[in-house]
Homo-oligomer: A and B are copies of this chain.
Amino acid sequence: MVNNKLITENLHTILEENLKLAKQINPTEVNALVEEIKSANRIFVMAAGRSGLALKMAAMRFMHLGYTVYVVGEVITPAILQGDVLLVASGSGTTATVLSAAEKAKKQKARVVAITADAQSKLAALADQVILINAATKTDFGVSVSSQYAGSLFEQFTLFVLESIFMTLWQESGLTKEDLWPKHANLE
């Protein structure tokens, strides 16, 4: 059996790494994403792997708040058009399917907002807005930024930034928990 102390330490390490990133984040960049969401006709989200799952968690909340939101690759997702925003996340900024979607969105004159750990990446260059997260990417094999595996810290903090964006949009909306509740999926 594992030492209980080890589990507790790891839990605290993970949270401390996220807290450290919270101190480094640029709120103006986050604010720009808030504005993109508010002014978009519709929000499309896309990312590969665990970043994609973090974006889906956010997408669900944006839907609860009354936004029209689609996950790229889901069955009923329509075409992106001018006036829409594509929100993507890629630690390395090089994920092929994400880059391809971002390029296609730009051709449709949709806005592109990228969350990435590499400000110099092709994805960052292509995006209209960038939120830079100073986390290791999944191909960094050092421990300088995080002692966690691969892109874990990036993926966790991507979720946290989006949770804080939701919380902010919710506060601004003036809506109560009871107001949002009727949007929640009710067939599961």
- Chain A residues within CB distance 8 Å of chain B: 1-2, 4-8, 10-15, 18-19, 22, 25, 27-28, 30-31, 34-35, 44, 46, 48-50, 53-54, 56-57, 59-61, 63-64, 69-81, 86, 95-97, 100-101, 104-105, 108, 138-139, 141, 148-150, 152, 155-156, 159-161, 163-168, 170-172, 176-178, 180-188
Which B residues are CB-close (under 8 A) to A100?
Answer: 96-97, 100, 187
Q: How many copies does the complex hold?
A: 4
Which B residues are CB-close (under 8 A) to A6?
Answer: 168, 171
- Does more than half of chain A's interface fall in helix, strand or loop, or is it mixed? helix
User: 16 more A-B contacts (CB under 8 A) besides A10-B164, A50-B61, A59-B76?
Assistant: A2-B172, A4-B31, A8-B27, A14-B167, A15-B18, A15-B160, A44-B187, A48-B185, A50-B57, A59-B75, A70-B76, A71-B76, A72-B185, A78-B183, A104-B187, A156-B163
